[in-house]
Amino acid sequence: MLSRITGVGKVLILGVLLIFTSSCVQTRYAVLDIKGASDKVKKEEAYNRITMILIDKGFDIKMGNKDLGLITTEYKQFASYDGTPPFDFYLQIKTTLRDRADGKLQVVMTPIVKDQNRLNSAAFNEHSLIGYSEQDQQRVFSRKEKAYVKGFQLFFNVVTSVGELFGLGIEQFERNLQQVQITT
């Protein structure tokens, strides 16, 4: 049958296949952690205010230790969908505060996502937060991908508030990212 298709037809078929393939395989990144440092705030004050920021954003504190400079939240549900199977998506944020040798206080925020099958609570997956460029967000199709966008927005909402505390803009945070290929 391919022998009967003209050259123009073959080019059109190839073009459609390329468009389909490019929409199915996209480059995204896993957010491993976000770091920022400032000398505008002391460790104890930063600890107390970051704890309040997390609570204001709807997170419950799982564990906090002022001496260690460690705050870990409980998982907070940020999205769900009723597919087959239905899934719920949860975000946990681990925050550490460290005094650096140069006199600045460093904050490191690590987002962890849990995808949980509602029909089988033992079927869950924990991983780094999946991030998307603005271009990728325009091409997101699946419900799962749309859920990750909501988690990404929630995490960076928290990071922005912490940045205001440290006197840092979002662009001043060092991002530890790992590029991943996801096929939808």
pLDDT digits over 36-77, tens only?
999 999 999 999 999 999 999 999 999 999 999 999 999 999
Report whether pLDDT(140) > 50: yes
21 domain-assigned: no
157 domain-assigned: yes
Report whether pLDDT(182) > 80: no
20 domain-assigned: no
Per-residue model confidence (pLDDT) at position 6 = 52
134 domain-assigned: yes
1 domain-assigned: no
What average pLDDT does the segment 116-137 reach? 82
Per-residue model confidence (pLDDT) at position 37 = 95
Q: How is 72-129 classified by DSSP, letter by letter?
A: EEPPEEEEEE-SSS-EEEEEEEEEEEEE-TTS-EEEEEEEEEEEEESS-TT-EEEEEE
Per-residue model confidence (pLDDT) at position 123 = 80
CATH number at residue 91: 3.30.530.50
pLDDT of 79-110, one tens digit each?
A: 998 878 898 999 999 999 999 999 999 999 99
128 domain-assigned: yes
Per-residue model confidence (pLDDT) at position 92 = 97
13 domain-assigned: no
pLDDT of 7-26, one tens digit each?
A: 444 333 333 333 333 344 55
How many structural domains is the chain composed of?
1
The boundaries of the domain holding residue 168 are 26-183
126 domain-assigned: yes
Say if CB 148 and CB 129 are below 8 A apart: yes
Per-residue model confidence (pLDDT) at position 132 = 75
